[in-house]
Amino acid sequence: MKFNVDVVRIRENSIQLNGWAIGKTPDARITYQVEDGNHRPLDFRYVATRRDDVSQIYFGSVIDREFGFDIQFPYERGKDYYLVVCGEKRRVRVKYNEELIRKRSSVAHKRMQKIRDLMNMETARVCLDFWKENGFRALVIKSKHKLQGIDNDYDYGEWYSLTRPSEEELKRQREERFSYMPKFSIVIPAYKTPERYLREMLDSIVAQTYENWEVCVADGSPRGQSSERLLARYAQQDRRFKYVILGENKGISGNTNAAMDMATGDFIVLADHDDTLTPDALYECARVLVEHPSCDCMYSDEDKMDMDGGALFDPHFKPDFNPDLLCSVNYICHLFVVSHNLASRVGGFRQEYDGAQDYDFIFRCTEAAGEICHIPRVLYHWRCHKDSTASNPESKLYAFESGSRAILAHYERVGIEVEKVEKGIDYGIYHSVFKIAGNPLVSVIIPNKDHSADLDTCLRAIEERASYKNVEFIIVENNSTQKETFEYYERIQKEFSNVRVVRWEREFNYSAINNFGETFASGEYLLFLNNDTELIAGNFIEEMLGYCQRDDVGAVGARLLYQDDTIQHAGVVVGFGGIAGHTFIGLHQAENSYFHRAMSAQDYSAVTAACMMTKKSLFEQVGGFSEELAVAFNDIDYCMKVRAAGKLVVYNPYALLYHYESKSRGLEDTPEKVARFNREIKIFSEKWPDILKDGDPYYNPNLTLRKSNFALRDLKKEKIGEPYRLEI
């Protein structure tokens, strides 16, 4: 027999235990008892729960058995209690009292528990598969990150319990009256819904602190299998509940449209029949509408809950509206709210996109919206089961094919030409390949000081292995001292007619050097490139050019790897480390990043100029690189100027190169260099105070600024809504 108690919660007068137990076979009988300090039996509440994770690990497949338990019993301070687990001729007692529970909640205990949780055959199998596919070095890196994750300050369930609204806050919300009290119509398509799940959804609406709402349920279940009795009971108790029994299944789009037809509210709220809303969901939506009167479309963060609704996990903390991320994945999903007027104008759900009908609807709404708002709070719990795309994407392959067509339709409506939309790193992650208009000249600008071997590797890789050929190279010679460097310049210009070396003869200033190089460029597009880079993807120029040609895009960055195939650059978040930093540094390219963000094309506030493409006309319009930023933050500053001009900055992971990292310039290791670095921090901070004060719109305030891996914000050190700033 094996068992584990995962969660212990003390309430005012009770203890709740969540865990699991199994025998040698799935049919082994396990029983539970609760005893007081003198081993006398106590009454307790017991609920059996599914634990598909346990089933998968110990029996190799998901088995229709309830291996989990939820046990609750009365508790008095200072007294001892015992949980007794019996099975297969074993009887094990686990002691509980206030002191022991406090110890088991300590960081050290949690760390050991996490290590024990990893010690199973499923972990060994996953490691072996990863080793075979990616090699031993990649496995070592991934294992290191896994073990580092053990030291995270919070499990999500604990973090959520510390950040959700208190009962006092919920009471205050119930009493608050806004100057504008919009009516929300929560539309729910139902089909063969388990009564318990539908009841939990409806009860979560009844529990809302904001009261101006109605519920519209359209049940498309076969005759005799509808939820009419349950729905009628709610409708009799509260006139805000409305429903229609369709008598046939019209598909998820048809059923949703039927629910929408009943709506009389100012705003439509989309909800699934087996999920739940948080008590403050509609209050938060109403508050946003009061603060943003022109908002006609909004979405929130979300998480997942297990089938029994007892455990929350996998929170999705999203960026503010990110159109290119939306074209990579339906990151908006839940909770989605749209004005009734806008929903009517775009035409409701379309049956030909069933499986991705919400994705198509979200595209059409966001295309036509006046203002799109994001609420950085979890307002929706998405129930996750084995047949749901929430846990098993391959169970609904047709949904991803529909999603591809939804993206193509979006591009067609907004006038963007694409070659294809194909599967990305995983099902539900899409890779858009854009058509290149014409054959424009790309000017590759590379500053160089000595290191001619690195420069040759960089340049020759593009000449010989890049698939895009209409390029010119502007090598900006920057005070080299080695004779071999100048000999190389002579040779390379003779070998390749599209290479030109120009001389910068003043002190080092990265911004000024690149601005100087740009004056010699003849191309319509500029590709700023470090001399210590080497292409991996032969089509990296096309990948960058496809985005850069769009009218709404001003700069495009690439995914850069260190020599050991770990990430050096995958976009920039303003606020990391106090000013700005790269995302997912050190993550192996074979590892999964937060919601696959490292492998999803998306908009960021900035990208690195180690490999950055921009339009020459825009570069000149915004004044190029700011020369008062001689070394640091000049590329971030340029991207900020691009965004201030109303253009997007895109990170494209499919433009892939190695970056051997700063071989050409020394470290900031002298008092003069440190003083200059601090001076440039001050310049950047004074130029762009709002984003440092308010936070990066492409990064969620619930995530930490101290690490690059999108971990939960440390509640002890970083208050939500108050960006961490570096002391200068």
pLDDT digits over 233-265, tens only? 999 999 999 999 998 899 899 999 999 999 999
> Same structural domain for residues 556 and 653?
yes
pLDDT over threshold 70, residue 152: no
pLDDT over threshold 70, residue 266: yes
Which one has a higher pLDDT value, 435 or 223?
Answer: 435
Please name the residues in contact with 726: beta carbons below 8 A apart, sequence gap of 6 or more: 577, 578, 579, 681
**Residue 464, pLDDT score:** 95
The 10 Å Cβ neighbour count of residue 711 is 16
Q: What angle in degrees, to the nearest 10, is found between the helix axes of 121-134 and 136-149? A: 140
The verdict on residue 434 lying in a domain is no
pLDDT over threshold 90, residue 726: no
pLDDT over threshold 70, residue 141: no
- Region class of 565: left (phi > 0), else alpha (psi between -120 and 50), else beta: left
> Same structural domain for residues 54 and 188?
no
Q: What is the pLDDT of residues 459-478, one digit of tens each?
A: 999 999 999 999 999 999 99
**Residue 715, pLDDT score:** 79
Which residue do the tokens 């159109």 mark?
323
**Residue 724, pLDDT score:** 37
Lowest mean pLDDT among 4-13, 34-43, 560-569, 585-594: 4-13
Task: State the Cα–Cα distance between residues 590 and 98, nearest whole angstrom.
Answer: 44
Closest to 633 measured CA to CA, from 554, 576, 713: 576
Q: What angle in degrees, to the nearest 10, is found between the helix axes of 195-206 and 228-237? A: 20
> Is residue 398 very low, low, confident or very high in pLDDT (cuts 50, 70, 90)?
confident
**Residue 108, pLDDT score:** 44
pLDDT over threshold 70, residue 118: no
Task: State the Cα–Cα distance between residues 219 and 221, nearest whole angstrom.
Answer: 6
Please name the residues in contact with 134: beta carbons below 8 A apart, sequence gap of 6 or more: 588, 590
> Same structural domain for residues 268 and 378?
yes
Mean pLDDT for the stretch of residues 311-329: 94
The verdict on residue 263 lying in a domain is yes
What CATH number corresponds to the domain at position 93?
A: 2.60.40.10
Mean pLDDT for the stretch of residues 404-427: 94
pLDDT over threshold 70, residue 151: no
pLDDT over threshold 80, residue 50: no
The 10 Å Cβ neighbour count of residue 205 is 24
**Residue 106, pLDDT score:** 42
| Token pair belonging to 297 | 């479309």
**Residue 728, pLDDT score:** 25
Task: State the Cα–Cα distance between residues 462 and 535, nearest whole angstrom.
Answer: 7
**Residue 719, pLDDT score:** 61
> Same structural domain for residues 638 and 516?
yes
> Is residue 380 very low, low, confident or very high in pLDDT (cuts 50, 70, 90)?
very high
**Residue 63, pLDDT score:** 79
Candidate ranges 2-11, 222-231, 402-411, 567-576; pick with highest mean pLDDT: 402-411
The verdict on residue 636 lying in a domain is yes
> Same structural domain for residues 280 and 370?
yes
The total domain count for the chain is 3
Closest to 630 measured CA to CA, from 525, 504, 486: 504
> Same structural domain for residues 515 and 644?
yes
| Token pair belonging to 436 | 């290149």
* Residue 20 structural domain: 2-105
Q: Which residues pair with 47 in a beta bridge?
A: 70
**DSSP letters spanning 67-103:** -EEEEEEE--TT--EEEEEEETTEEEEEEE-HHHHHH
Mean pLDDT for the stretch of residues 3-23: 79
> Is residue 727 very low, low, confident or very high in pLDDT (cuts 50, 70, 90)?
very low
The verdict on residue 599 lying in a domain is yes
> Is residue 452 very low, low, confident or very high in pLDDT (cuts 50, 70, 90)?
very high
The verdict on residue 367 lying in a domain is yes
Candidate ranges 21-35, 48-62, 534-548; pick with highest mean pLDDT: 534-548
> Same structural domain for residues 473 and 609?
yes
Given 83, 105, 127, the domain boundary residue is: 105
**Residue 576, pLDDT score:** 85
The verdict on residue 706 lying in a domain is no
Given 386, 402, 434, the domain boundary residue is: 386
Contact 303, 312 (CB under 8 A): yes
Per the prediction, the chain carries an average pLDDT of: 87
* Amino acid identity at 55: S
What CATH number corresponds to the domain at position 578?
A: 3.90.550.10
The verdict on residue 611 lying in a domain is yes
Mean pLDDT for the stretch of residues 632-639: 94
Contact 18, 5 (CB under 8 A): yes
**Residue 11, pLDDT score:** 60
> Is residue 427 very low, low, confident or very high in pLDDT (cuts 50, 70, 90)?
confident
> Same structural domain for residues 476 and 380?
no
- Region class of 636: left (phi > 0), else alpha (psi between -120 and 50), else beta: alpha
Q: What is the pLDDT of residues 552-600, one digit of tens each?
A: 999 999 999 998 888 999 999 998 877 888 999 988 877 878 889 999 9
**Residue 114, pLDDT score:** 52
pLDDT over threshold 90, residue 627: yes
Contact 301, 187 (CB under 8 A): no
Q: What angle in degrees, to the nearest 10, is found between the helix axes of 483-495 and 452-465? A: 10
> Same structural domain for residues 200 and 87?
no
> Same structural domain for residues 288 and 203?
yes
> Same structural domain for residues 96 and 243?
no
The verdict on residue 554 lying in a domain is yes
pLDDT over threshold 50, residue 667: no
| Token pair belonging to 556 | 């495009």
> Is residue 708 very low, low, confident or very high in pLDDT (cuts 50, 70, 90)?
confident
Task: State the Cα–Cα distance between residues 678 and 319, nearest whole angstrom.
Answer: 29
Answer whether the bond into residue 529 is a cis peptide, omega within 30°: no
**Residue 720, pLDDT score:** 54
Please name the residues in contact with 228: beta carbons below 8 A apart, sequence gap of 6 or more: 219, 243, 245
Ramachandran angles phi, psi of 645, nearest 5° = -85, 5
Establish how many alpha carbons lie within 13 A of residue 374's alpha carbon, considering only the half-sphere containing its beta carbon.
22
**Residue 147, pLDDT score:** 55
**DSSP letters spanning 239-260:** TTEEEEE-SS--HHHHHHHHHH
Mean pLDDT for the stretch of residues 516-523: 97
When computed from its CA atoms, the radius of gyration of the chain, rounded to whole angstroms, is: 29
> By percentage, how much of the chain surpasses pLDDT 90?
60
> Same structural domain for residues 72 and 184?
no
**Residue 475, pLDDT score:** 97
* Amino acid identity at 630: A
Given 86, 105, 124, the domain boundary residue is: 105
**Residue 103, pLDDT score:** 57
